[in-house]
Amino acid sequence: MKTTVRDVMTGEVATVTRDTSFHDAVAKLVETGVSGLPVVDADGRVSGVISETDLLCKEEYRERYFGEYYSPPIRARLRHRLGSQRDSAGKAEAETVNDLMTAPAIVTTPDSPVVLAARLMDRHGVKRLPVVDADGLLVGIVTRHDLIKVFLQDDSEITLLLAQEATLTQVMDRKVTVTDGVVTIEGRTEVRSQANAAVRAAERLDGVVAVHSRVTWSQDDTFPVTAWGGA
């Protein structure tokens, strides 16, 4: 069974609203010891998120108030131009969360596999995802720290998952060992594609760090066959 966001997320979530003051938002981050917070409306739906990065824009641009000019690095300027977050200079003027937050929020759902949540974080360059139900209501939050918990599965649990994986039954004289999440598969198959499929099946299992294959095969069926037509 695949690990889902529900299995690793935090259910109790500190939040702020659009009209939360800059000062109170900083206080909430410090109090809770987190680096970002969902912004919710009166019904509990997620409007956006704020992070330490958003709040630090005010400090980042402080020099311009003393007659010095600051230009953000090119990566930040590209990010702003692509619309992934509000312009940093504008956030530096903010007094409330409404003018600080990044919106719309990138969210996930409780039933989403953790691998998809990880891809969302990587694609959008975020460290946390609010978790919402079918009505868009906030039900939790998942962070990068939560997602790596999937690699804490015991070797015995991974071994049991491997035993239930139908693709591995194609490996004859099969011997599978798991050490610290690293899987070693020994045995033989009729064709190479079956050996490759067994490795891919093992790699997809939650908690697997790497797969070492010592599977041999009788025939290599992975090369394309060229058909020649006669005159």
* CATH number of the CATH domain containing 203: 3.30.70
Is residue 226 in some structural domain?
Answer: no
CATH value at residue 106: 3.10.580.10
Pick the last residue of a domain from 133, 150, 167.
150
Q: Which domain holds residue 204?
A: 153-219
Pick the last residue of a domain from 98, 121, 150.
150
Do 192 and 96 reside in the same domain of the chain? no
Transcribe 55-116 into DSSP letters: HHHHHHTGGGGGT------HHHHHHHHTTSS--HHHHHT-SBGGGT-BSSPP-B-TTSBHHH
pLDDT of 197-207, one tens digit each? 999 999 999 89
- Model pLDDT, residue 197: 95
Do 126 and 41 reside in the same domain of the chain? yes
Do 167 and 124 reside in the same domain of the chain? no
| C-alpha torsion 11→110→129→35, nearest 10 | 20
pLDDT of 49-83, one tens digit each? 998 888 777 655 555 444 554 454 444 444 444 44
203-225: average pLDDT: 89
- Model pLDDT, residue 70: 46
Do 57 and 145 reside in the same domain of the chain? yes
Residues in contact with 80: Cβ distance below 8 Å, sequence separation at least 6, in sequence order: 72, 86, 87, 88
Would the pTM count as exceeding 0.75? Answer: no
pLDDT of 104-139, one tens digit each? 999 999 999 998 999 999 998 889 999 999 999 999
- Model pLDDT, residue 211: 96
Residues in contact with 25: Cβ distance below 8 Å, sequence separation at least 6, in sequence order: 16, 37, 50, 55, 97, 100
